[in-house]
Amino acid sequence: MGDKGTFWLPEGASTLAGEVDALFYFVYWISVVIFVAVIAAMVYFMIRYRRRTPHDRPPVVHESKVLEVTWIVVPTILVLIVFTWGFKVFLKLGVAPPDAYEIQVVGQKWSWQFNYPNGVRSSELHVPVDRPVRLQMSSVDVLHSFYIPAFRVKQDVLPNRYTSIWFEATRADTFQVYCTEYCGTQHSGMLTKVIAHEQSAFETWLQESGIPDDASPAQRGALLYTQLGCQACHSLDGTRLTGPSFQGLYGSTHGLADGSSVEVDDNYLRESILEPSAKIVEGYANVMPASYGGLTEDELTALIAFIEEQQP
């Protein structure tokens, strides 16, 4: 992780980071100069024109055309510079190059999932360096916002509509991703990483991350567990997260919120993945996204086989 950078932002690592920073520092330093000038003038006038005796009268002030024209014209020019410059950078950030590599991003309470053109899925974002990458983003539940400070890109992620951002990473490294739209109790934990690889390392990662044909169902389930983001809410070591741990889950008996109880078997797990709100485990909230309803039979079997293996 790049630990250089400034008080305001981490070290930039995308092709447009420098332009965003230049604009930011232009606005910043103008604000500093004007702030200091206004405070200095205020202090000077307070002292210069303070009331010395009870019968003091303020001196008569005459208008100054030059002064008035100056404080209208100079700020107007500054605002126009910031607008023109800002609009140019905004357009560059908004329009991805047509040859950009496209990755689908799915936000959900409270994890991110990334889908690559060759069918690979991951819960951390892997990208090649020196190549434009476009993220096509949507949410399965509420508003989220996808923010990579090192790339200077941030965009809301909405249910029922695509939004997108693009960037070109300039060095191979790992960068932090934040959710920057309050989305529920685990909002602050909705974190992931961007891993920027050299081009050849990225190709290798893509090849190796596909599910091998000869994998057992439980091995495929283990991959799905991380790729689909299950680990954000279901631990494997008994730790209590947002949802029940998978450790020792299979074969156990759950108390349900309605007072009844259920034995955890294949059919219970199947129903709980496809339709999470059907049976709520006592002591847990009904917050699992319904987005897993689209899993294939093969994926369901694999996940259930994986959960069955998680015995203490």
Q: At what angle do helices 217-227 and 297-309 cross, to 10 degrees?
A: 100
From the list 11-19, 147-155, 183-191, 197-205, the region that binds ligand CUA by CB under 6 A is 183-191
* Per-residue binder mask for ligand CUA (CB under 6 A), 126-165, x = binder: ------------------x---------------------
From the list 175-183, 215-223, 257-265, 268-276, the region that binds ligand CUA by CB under 6 A is 175-183
Residue type, 302: A
Residue of 125, 127, 183, 273 that binds ligand CUA (CB under 6 A):
183
User: Using the rule CB under 6 A, is 197 a contact of ligand CUA?
Assistant: no
Name the token pair of 31: 């604000």
Q: Percent helix, strand, coil in the chain (nearest 5)? A: 40, 20, 40
Least distance (Å) from ligand CUA to the CB of residue 200? Answer: 33
User: Using the rule CB under 6 A, is 106 a contact of ligand CUA?
Assistant: no
From CA 219, how far away is CA 8, in angstroms rounded?
44
Where does residue 248 fall: left (phi above 0), alpha (psi -120 to 50 degrees), or beta otherwise? Answer: left
To the nearest 10°, the Cα dihedral for 29, 31, 37, 39? -130
Distances (CA, A) of 31 to 25, 35, 38, 74: 9, 6, 10, 13
Nearest Cα residue to 269 out of 232, 228, 312, 301:
301
Least distance (Å) from ligand CUA to the CB of residue 111? Answer: 9
User: What length does the chain have?
Assistant: 312
Least distance (Å) from ligand CUA to the CB of residue 107? Answer: 6
Least distance (Å) from ligand CUA to the CB of residue 139? Answer: 8
Least distance (Å) from ligand CUA to the CB of residue 211? Answer: 27
Residue of 129, 179, 206, 264 that binds ligand CUA (CB under 6 A):
179
Least distance (Å) from ligand CUA to the CB of residue 147? Answer: 10
Give the torsion sign (CA, 16, 19, 22, 23): negative
Give residue 104's Cα distance to chain centre.
Answer: 13
User: Using the rule CB under 6 A, is 181 a contact of ligand CUA?
Assistant: yes
Least distance (Å) from ligand CUA to the CB of residue 184? Answer: 7
Q: Rank residues 156 and 266 by Cβ distance to ligand CUA and give the closer one.
A: 156
User: Using the rule CB under 6 A, is 111 a contact of ligand CUA?
Assistant: no
Q: What is the DSSP string of 256-280?
A: BTTS-EEE--HHHHHHHHH-TTSSP
User: Using the rule CB under 6 A, is 279 a contact of ligand CUA?
Assistant: no
Q: Rank residues 128 and 289 by Cβ distance to ligand CUA and give the closer one.
A: 289
From the list 42-50, 182-190, 220-228, 248-256, the region that binds ligand CUA by CB under 6 A is 182-190
Name the token pair of 57: 């009268």
Residues in contact with ligand CUA by CB under 6 A are 107, 110, 144, 179, 181-183, 187, 190
